[in-house]
């Protein structure tokens, strides 16, 4: 027996704090349980006893004669802890604490919530809330509405988790209004115990829940969420609205990767990697739910449009193309068949325009014919009011054909009045209807997205042979000197130790050493200063490229020393790195940023001067699978450049993918790496390799010292 | 008297083809005129005479006793031309031809439409249609519904032009349903005479029309449309839905500029330059209309949110920030005042959260207080259902405050059921209400867009002194040789003649000449082949950069000759251009593309290898004003690079702007220029100038020969 069953599928519920006083939660929840005809025993508990909403009330939970699966707790916050003790004495294992006044009110409430959770754990209970709207299960065997939302739910196939109680109630109202039904609903509130992850796991194998909707303001355990969602979204769509994206706690971070990240990018990456469909408005969340409730997952992305008016057909085509879906190529056989009954003025090319006079039979025959076409995966049926036809009759006729052909998604676009949609909301429907073409196109897009995700291989997290000893030695040296920021040389060496292709180089502290290294690498070379105090080298003229000879190297070196001296920056100078000059005009960037909530994130995209301006970068939560890495590379616009646009050498995609995976391994081995930039990761025009030409690594000092056993760190000692 | 008055403000109308047969247009239109209580004489004309919808019918238009301003023609297409003659004899100056069967049916219909237009012109008439839904004017003095749409219109302030008859009817239904009212409506149909431009001009000074809505599938005369819309949109908002954007007749164009353009970019540019707000879905078109109908144009972009629930407040903030609007900084005085009546748990920081228990009085007091705050330009009021409050009561209360404070836009977000919105649609409202926060944010964005447009200076089209004689001489030479594509050298020379900063260069046909030029420019130089047969030089190794000395130049030259010989491309070689090597890593592109419908378009954006991949380019229709040019530069993402991001030299913005304006002058002088690319327009790291390093010009041969008086062109002669 799964451990939420006592809460979500109880045989008996006690309402502790039930009340006869109107407009109180203790009264509303009793009414809801009664009106929705809970299929089990209802025990109101109130110190005064009596009859509440027609049920015998008990003065304490101990008085209740039968066994109780679920206690719905609505008493004042100060009584909640005692109530839990009493529930334990009664042998109750399921709690839903609606009462507010805990963590959300400040430190004292948070302490009380901590004690609450301790009791729940100690007693082996599960607990929804506190500070929530309640729970709901529409299955006829259960039939429980234990919420105080305004309206009774419609039966459906959605499992819905809401973090906000008030908004959850609003959403329940709107969904009822839209005739979108639920299987189960959990208002997790402060999520002291049960959270979105618990719900996901609980619904994974529950066939009554066919899709999962989430309203979230935060994700409690990102790694666990990712693991669960990745697995479960393969079985049923998970659609999430994550609010608070502009509130990005984006304190000016010191590196590029940091400043480009920000909390919402992390959430976005996590959801994308986990196969969760992210919506940005409630409106779209509902629309997508409606589509998944009424459509099978399609076999492909080829869309046919059936319309009785050209204009909406054009608008639907526009929207479908913009989502990257294909306009289906109708087969000749289908065209012939359509011509056999449609008037000559009709167009049998996709979009199929049956013209304004199309009677209901044409809608039926055309749809039936098009559904059968093997080149068609999804269908949009458009109706614009025409003298003599009734919209609802057309809808019924279309649904009749759909009922006989359930294998492909069919979406209706009925550009008519709200009266039509009100009428629909009181009917059984077997396909989604929208007012506007763009809404249907978004629905098709979501269906296709779920199809692609279900077909996507799971991927593996590879493990490469790397030189950990060397990497640690380098980092330890930095730590011992109290430096969180590794020097360029150290950074590049750590990358090298992890098998990342870095450009050939050597370190010199005087001009003769520099020339000796230059001679051994071969010209042209690049000279870069390394400094303990200056992090953006180009800004101070610390990078000299295309040095063609030993003589030129000598000149540049001397010039650098002079410039730094003039600027008073000479003291930080450690020396210069002499590097092979890799030719290529495609500068990418790969890196690591740490999100305070989601942990290490991988970054990849267009680098160089374009990084902040074009923001053509993508993020994923570490660790990466090979599929994640491959998708990262493909998802940036600059991918076409990597493929070899404009006569450039095609990049070695597998080598670049491996670079990302090795970086991911690095940060998994050393999670104290706070920021890492390879910028540029230059694509060699000669070989197509991605070569780390410059790198920066920054660690979290205390954490790093602890992990690597460095005790003499001056900074930590402060 | 403006010349559409006979059609839009008639004192008398004749319905020629009026009918008693139900469900015919001749019957429907009579009913509509009667039911909407047309404020003038209605004369049905039908060969059978009799009484039609209660009016005396006449057997011919000549029989009609009184004067007739407007003839509504619904007779069969084959009788239309004769009918027009009869209308002329009767002295009628206004026609609305609803009858279909003209241009839209093919060549024969098009011929008939041509004759129709000739008669209209000859007789000094104005004509709406043919193939249209009719016209409508809700002003009480007129009260004319001369359409056959399903429902009678709601009185309002919108002037609406629809190109599609069927869709126009659908739109009328939906707007009625949404309670969005019209002043006037013109279904232009085939727009033989009256088109969107006529309507714009007609409504320019009609105070009854406060905003103009357009549904367009094409723009008839882009230059005229631009002229009118630019002027009129300063006085009242013009909002357009332009369909058919994916159908971009994008045959693979040969240049970058061409391939990046495509028909929809031209439409987009035209609308943006003309101050027309473009919507991409009917849904948004209606939403925007609703906002403009009920809101003044704000004074700034600072938004305050008032809510009774945190979640929707966060979602609204997210959406508002994403549109680039500002969250208002509430003054301390306002905060104090709010604290004086709101409970302590409320948040008086923007978004202002009155918490769930907020009674109606708090809505009123809070709104009143916030409207008065000088730091607030626009306000969103959010309501989430709460036990005990009725949504419609809250709405009424809010509208009461709004009525007393009409100076600032106030938008409602009521996350409640459709019942609320149905109820609203039967009420007088003084502010727009939406279900979702994102819809309100879009509305705020549109208001702000209109504000910015109204404040935008008109701009001037400057005229520079240029060397036309030299430009023409160069182009003539190319034409005489039958070349539509000028060589690189010619292209650069034309740009130079037009005062565009090109990089110093000379042309050489052998290695000694090359070295002589190199020596005079000074090293480093760049060598570029010029060829009559090979247009993408880099693909064949025809560009050699950073040549440091005469010796190196010799080597590179010899190597090029060898490579071309190997590839069999040596025959096309004209010689090489030796150019100053401009240092800079910011490569922009400027150019001209020609849209078959909209004419020459200017392009500006990020160039180099990124051009096709990043697509960070913007378009405007030529000729450019200085404001257009300045906006073009600012509207690309790479603008930050130009400003000097990452330690680069700030670009000379005025010089770049002048480059665009000079290009615009060039194509205005020589409209036969089909394509022009300056790629790259390199930003000099030394001076910040934009320097044309490479250029390509292609002309339309026949047109160019004719304009420049070149008769001996071999290609044209073929």
Whether the CB of B40 is below 8 Å from some CB of chain A: the reply is no
- Count CB atoms within 10 A of the CB of residue B176: 19
Domains within chain A, CATH numbers bracketed? 5-209 (3.40.50.720), 301-455 (3.40.50.261), 468-580 (3.30.1490.20), 586-708 (3.30.470.20)
* CA distance linking residue A222 with residue B468, whole number of Å: 67
pLDDT digits (tens, 9 = 90+) for A3-47: 799 999 999 999 999 999 988 899 999 999 999 999 999 999 999
Please give the C-alpha separations between residue A171 and each of A119, A202, B442, in angstroms, as whole numbers. 32, 22, 21
The residues facing A593 across adjacent strands are: A601, A675
* Token output for A256: 């590029």
Question: For residue B2, what pLDDT band results from cuts at 50, 70 and 90?
Answer: low
In chain B, which residues have their Cβ closer than 8 Å to the Cβ of A637? 613-615
3-state secondary structure of B347: strand
CB A713 within 8 A of CB A480: yes
pLDDT digits (tens, 9 = 90+) for A583-593: 887 899 999 99
Residues in chain B: 718
Across the interface, whether the CB atoms of A538 and B646 are under 8 A apart is answered: yes
Residue the block writes with tokens 């409690």: A220
Residue the block writes with tokens 């404009």: A646
How would you classify the pairing of strands B155-162 and B182-187? parallel
- Closest residue to A166, CB basis, from B356, B419, B435: B356
Q: What whole-number percentage of chain B has pLDDT above 70?
A: 95
Angle subtended by helix axes B196-203 and B222-232, to nearest 10: 20
* CA distance linking residue B689 with residue B683, whole number of Å: 5
Whether the CB of A104 is below 8 Å from some CB of chain B: the reply is no
Minimal CA–CA distance to A242: which of A275, A192, A277, A211?
A: A277
The residues facing B604 across adjacent strands are: B590, B618
CB B367 within 8 A of CB B394: no
Most B CBs within 10 A among A613, A616, A633, A647, hence the mutation to make, goes to A613
Of residues A614 and A144, more confidently modeled: A144
Per-residue pLDDT, averaged over B550-558, amounts to: 92
pLDDT digits (tens, 9 = 90+) for A442-460: 999 999 999 999 999 989 9
For residue B254, pLDDT over 70 is answered with: no
* CA distance linking residue B489 with residue A17, whole number of Å: 89
3-state helix, strand, coil in chain A (%, to 5): 40, 20, 35
* CA distance linking residue A190 with residue A113, whole number of Å: 9
Q: What is the mean pLDDT of chain A?
A: 90
Q: What are phi and psi of A405, to 5 degrees?
A: -130, 70
* Global confidence as pTM: 0.87
* Token output for A226: 């990712």
Per-residue pLDDT, averaged over A191-195, amounts to: 94
Please give the C-alpha separations between residue B426 and each of B265, B288, B419, B423, in angstroms, as whole numbers. 40, 20, 11, 6
Per-residue pLDDT, averaged over B644-649, amounts to: 80
ipTM beyond 0.90?
no
CB B101 within 8 A of CB B17: no
Residues 535-564 of B with CB under 8 A from A: 536, 538-539, 546, 548
* CA distance linking residue B387 with residue A408, whole number of Å: 42
Residues 42-71 of A with CB under 8 A from B: none
Q: What is the pLDDT of residue A590?
A: 97
3-state secondary structure A179-245: CCCEEEEEECCCCCCCCHHHHHHHHCCCCCCCEEEEEECCCCCHHHHHHHHHHHCCCCCEEEEECCC
3-state secondary structure of A69: coil
pLDDT digits (tens, 9 = 90+) for A611-652: 777 888 999 999 999 999 999 999 999 998 899 877 789 999
Minimal CA–CA distance to A76: which of A58, A59, A98?
A: A98
- Closest residue to A614, CB basis, from B173, B435, B614: B614
Per-residue pLDDT, averaged over B365-378, amounts to: 98
Q: What is the pLDDT of residue A258?
A: 38
pLDDT digits (tens, 9 = 90+) for B282-340: 889 999 999 999 999 999 999 999 999 888 888 899 899 889 999 999 999 999 999 99
How would you classify the pairing of strands A525-531 and B94-97? unpaired
Beta strands, E only, B21-154: 41-45, 51-52, 55-56, 70-73, 94-97, 126-128, 134-137, 144-147
In chain A, which residues have their Cβ closer than 8 Å to the Cβ of B613? 637-638, 640-641, 645
pLDDT digits (tens, 9 = 90+) for B474-512: 999 999 999 999 998 899 999 999 999 998 888 899 999
Minimal CA–CA distance to B25: which of B165, B122, B124?
A: B165
* Token output for B685: 């790291």
- Count CB atoms within 10 A of the CB of residue B455: 9
Q: What is the pLDDT of residue B713?
A: 57
Q: Give the helix ranges, DSSP H, for A147-262.
A: 165-177, 196-203, 222-232, 256-260
Q: What is the pLDDT of residue A254?
A: 31
B385-416 burial, b at 16+ Cβ within 10 Å, e below that, comes to bbeebebeebbebbbebbeeeeebbbbbbbbb
3-state secondary structure of B21: coil
Residue the block writes with tokens 């049956």: A354
Please give the C-alpha separations between residue B226 and each of A183, B267, B463, in angstroms, as whole numbers. 55, 11, 20
* CA distance linking residue B8 with residue B208, whole number of Å: 12
* CA distance linking residue B637 with residue A637, whole number of Å: 14
The residues facing B603 across adjacent strands are: B591, B619
For residue B75, pLDDT over 50 is answered with: yes
Per-residue pLDDT, averaged over A260-266, amounts to: 64
Q: What is the pLDDT of residue A716?
A: 59
pLDDT digits (tens, 9 = 90+) for B400-429: 999 999 999 999 999 988 889 888 888 889
Whether the CB of A21 is below 8 Å from some CB of chain B: the reply is no
Whether the CB of B322 is below 8 Å from some CB of chain A: the reply is yes
* CA distance linking residue B483 with residue B535, whole number of Å: 13
CB A72 within 8 A of CB A14: yes
Spell out the residues 6+ positions from residue A327 whose beta carbon is closer than 8 angstroms to its own: A302, A303, A304, A305, A317, A320, A321, A350, A351
Minimal CA–CA distance to B522: which of B505, B510, B500, B502?
A: B505
Q: What is the pLDDT of residue B538?
A: 67
* CA distance linking residue B620 with residue B220, whole number of Å: 18
* CA distance linking residue B572 with residue A451, whole number of Å: 52
* CA distance linking residue A498 with residue A692, whole number of Å: 12
CB A255 within 8 A of CB A484: no
Across the interface, whether the CB atoms of B318 and A539 are under 8 A apart is answered: no
The nearest alpha carbon in chain B to A438 belongs to B281
């Amino acid at each position: 027996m799964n451990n939420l069953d006592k809460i979500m599928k109880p045989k008996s519920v006690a309402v502790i704090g039930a009340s006869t006083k109107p407009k109180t939660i203790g009264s509303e929840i009793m009414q809801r349980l009664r009106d929705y005809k809970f299929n089990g025993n209802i025990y109101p508990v109130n110190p005064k006893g009596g009859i509440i909403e027609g049920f015998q009330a008990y003065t304490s939970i101990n008085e209740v004669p039968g066994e109780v699966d679920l206690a719905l707790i609505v008493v004042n916050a100060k009584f909640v802890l005692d109530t839990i003790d009493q529930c334990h004495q009664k042998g109750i294992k399921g709690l839903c604490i609606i009462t507010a006044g805990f963590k959300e009110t400040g430190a004292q409430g948070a302490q009380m919530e901590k004690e609450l959770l301790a009791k729940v754990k100690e007693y082996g209970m599960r607990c929804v809330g506190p500070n929530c709207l309640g729970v709901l299960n529409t299955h006829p065997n259960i039939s429980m509405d234990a919420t105080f939302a305004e309206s009774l739910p419609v039966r459906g196939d959605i499992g819905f988790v809401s973090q906000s109680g008030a908004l959850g109630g609003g959403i329940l109202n709107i969904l009822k209004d839209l005739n979108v039904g639920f299987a189960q609903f959990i208002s997790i509130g402060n999520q002291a115990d049960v959270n979105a992850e618990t719900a996901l796991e609980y619904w994974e194998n529950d066939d009554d829940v066919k899709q999962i909707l989430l309203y979230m303001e935060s994700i409690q355990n990102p790694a666990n969420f990712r693991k669960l969602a990745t697995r479960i979204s393969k079985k049923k769509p998970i659609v999430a609205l994550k609010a608070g994206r502009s509130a990005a706690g984006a304190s000016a971070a010191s590196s590029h990767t940091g400043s480009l990240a920000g909390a919402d990018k992390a959430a976005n990456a996590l959801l994308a990697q986990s196969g969760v469909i992210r919506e940005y408005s409630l409106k779209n969340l509902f629309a997508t739910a409606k589509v998944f409730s009424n459509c099978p997952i399609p076999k492909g992305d080829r869309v046919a449009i059936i319309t009785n008016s050209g204009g909406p057909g054009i608008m639907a085509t526009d929207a479908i193309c913009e989502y990257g879906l294909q306009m289906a190529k109708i087969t000749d056989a289908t065209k012939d068949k359509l011509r056999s009954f449609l008037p000559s003025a009709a167009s049998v090319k996709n979009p199929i325009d049956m013209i304004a006079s199309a009677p209901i039979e044409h809608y039926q025959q055309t749809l039936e014919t098009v559904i059968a076409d093997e080149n068609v995966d999804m269908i949009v049926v458009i109706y614009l009011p025409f003298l003599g036809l009734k919209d609802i009759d057309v809808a019924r006729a279309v649904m009749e054909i759909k009922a006989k052909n359930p294998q492909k998604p069919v979406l209706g676009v009925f550009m008519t009045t709200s009266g039509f949609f009100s009428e629909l909301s009181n009917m059984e429907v077997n396909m989604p209807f929208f007012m506007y073409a763009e809404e249907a196109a978004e629905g098709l897009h979501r269906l296709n997205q779920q199809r692609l995700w279900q077909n996507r291989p799971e991927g593996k997290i590879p493990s490469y042979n790397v030189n950990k000893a060397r990497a640690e030695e380098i980092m330890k040296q930095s730590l011992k000197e109290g430096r969180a920021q590794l020097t360029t040389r150290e950074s590049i060496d750590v990358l090298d130790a992890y098998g990342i292709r870095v450009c050939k180089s050597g370190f010199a502290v005087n001009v003769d050493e520099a020339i000796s290294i230059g001679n051994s690498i071969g010209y042209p070379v690049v000279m870069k200063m390394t400094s303990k105090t200056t992090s953006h080298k180009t800004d101070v003229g610390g990078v000299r490229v295309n040095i063609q000879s030993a003589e030129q190297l000598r000149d540049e070196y001397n010039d650098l020393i002079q410039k730094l001296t003039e600027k008073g920056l000479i003291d930080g100078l450690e020396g210069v790195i002499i590097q092979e000059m890799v030719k290529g005009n495609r500068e990418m960037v790969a890196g690591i940023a740490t999100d305070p909530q989601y942990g290490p994130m991988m970054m990849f995209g267009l680098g160089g001067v374009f990084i902040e301006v074009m923001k053509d970068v993508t993020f994923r939560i570490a660790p990466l699978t090979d599929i994640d890495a491959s998708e990262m590379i493909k998802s940036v616009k600059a991918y076409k450049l990597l493929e070899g646009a404009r006569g450039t050498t095609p990049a070695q995609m597998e080598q670049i993918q491996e670079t990302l995976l090795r970086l991911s391994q690095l940060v998994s081995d050393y999670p104290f790496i706070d920021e890492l930039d390879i910028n540029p990761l230059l694509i060699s025009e000669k070989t197509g390799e991605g070569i780390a030409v410059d790198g920066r690594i920054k660690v979290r000092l205390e954490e790093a010292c602890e992990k690597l056993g460095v005790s003499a760190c001056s900074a930590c000692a402060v």
